[in-house]
Amino acid sequence: MPACLDPILGIDDLLTGANFASGCSGYDPITATSNRDLALSLTGDQFEMFNGYAKRSKQYTIDSYMDLLITFGSGFLELLLLVHLTFSSYFKVNTYAMSLPKDGSTTKLVPALIVFGDSIVDSGNNNYIDTVGKCNFPPYGRDFISGKPTGRYSNGKVPSDLIAEGLGIKELLPPYLDPTLQIEDLLTGVNFASGAAVYDPISAQTATVLSLTNQLELFREYKEKLTAAVGESRTSVIVSESVYLVAIGSNDITNTYYSTPFRRPHYSISSYTDLMTNLASSFLQTAGNWQELYGLGARRIIVANLPPIGCIPSQRTLAGGVLRSCVEEYNQAASLFNSKLYSEIQSLNSKLLGARIVYLDINESLVDLINNPSKPGFEIANKGCCGTGNIEVSILCNRFNPFTCPDASKYIFWDSFHPTKATYRIIVNQILPNSLDQFFKVT
């Protein structure tokens, strides 16, 4: 540990700590003054009044002098805590993301971000599977870094990228199925999400996308690759200290329940949201002898609730009547599931030793944007930018559609189902710091 007054210290030294200790110093400022050492006080001249005083033995009994030392020690610790809280509050997410040495000898406070879910967070896995649910063609990605489509269901970055960026891990979270991934990519996290994925296994069996079961299988494979590359010990640290994001469920209600004959004849919306909640709970912990997310080592988990799906442009078109109003039945279904999911997460937090599961409320933020679009500078909230914005998504949102808007920054939604990158950034900036506080807050 280098001395803080060493004039040759570089920024790399400071990032990993420095030593402020001084020989012959003490709690009592007279000790430091008489020895011309560094007092614990941040401004030693505060205690010049003590210079020239008689020895403490003539002023104090040993008991009263111990009380004095405890007072000085307590004051120093209070000041140190105040400095820490001030800086951690000011820097928020960046404080959490501050990294230690980059030589692999230690990990970051958040070494990696691991994502499971559907098209809201998919960063391109569907590019590499046989499915019609793709978006790796223009105009998707029009406002992305490269200006090219990547398989992200938006005009730019999606929440998985923005959260990785907010954690200070990396700018983009790559899809796990990308064949060009290197071990360095795996060490800082990957994305297992797949557009059109659902909680409900009955839809997962018919959809040609990565089900949650498939995503967990890939996660197991990912752990094996990490272990082969960096060993069991470091893999265990990465797995247990990473942040996990789960964002899925909209397709269960809009597609599986309301648009197909699979579930609605057999379930009320109340019993179906019970089923969804049970499936979410099983995915987060351990189902019987089958290891799910917690059983595989995840300890810091963020679970997103459902957005106001009745206000998504496609649902307005399909079920909102001539005026394309928000479909309150769908919004109430989402709210019903959200309340059950919240209660289940609280229950899991009390049962799963060493885990912290955070409920991420994206619903409220998106509702506020839809109801008050002009507040952050949007102009259009009831349709998407791509095509007519009323029904186009995936293959219907393509370069041959002449109605695509020229400026997506005016729109809350990019296509008829997914928000624009500007909307995503506003929501992530609003809700991420508080979510991370629940992992790292000082108690």
What's the token pair of residue 397? 């949102």
d(CA 15, CA 1): 12
Active-site residue among 28, 118, 119, 252? 119
- Residues with Cβ within 8 Å of 145's Cβ and at least 6 positions away in sequence, in order, are 156, 157, 171, 172
CB 231 within 8 A of CB 249: no
d(CA 111, CA 115): 14
CA distances from 110 to 15, 100, 166, 246, 407 (A): 16, 11, 11, 17, 36
Q: What SS3 class is residue 59?
A: coil
Phi-psi region of 125 (alpha: psi -120 to 50; beta: other; left: phi over 0): alpha
What's the token pair of residue 392? 């186009």
What is the longest distance spanned by two Cα atoms in the chain? 93
What's the token pair of residue 42? 């941040």
Active-site residue among 335, 415, 416, 435? 415
Omega of the bond leading into 139 within 30 degrees of 0 (cis): yes
Q: Is 418 a catalytic residue?
A: yes
d(CA 215, CA 235): 19
Q: Is 119 a catalytic residue?
A: yes
Phi then psi for 380, rounded to 5 degrees?
-130, 125
CB 191 within 8 A of CB 175: yes
Residues in the chain: 443
d(CA 211, CA 240): 23
Helix (H) / strand (E) element for 116: namely strand 113-117
d(CA 403, CA 430): 32
Q: Is 88 a catalytic residue?
A: no
Active-site residue among 118, 365, 418, 435? 418
Burial of 427 from C-beta contacts in 10 A (0-12 / 13-18 / 19+):
buried
Helix (H) / strand (E) element for 247: namely strand 243-247
What's the token pair of residue 53? 């005083």
What's the token pair of residue 66? 């111990």
Phi-psi region of 405 (alpha: psi -120 to 50; beta: other; left: phi over 0): beta
Catalytically active residues are 119, 415, 418
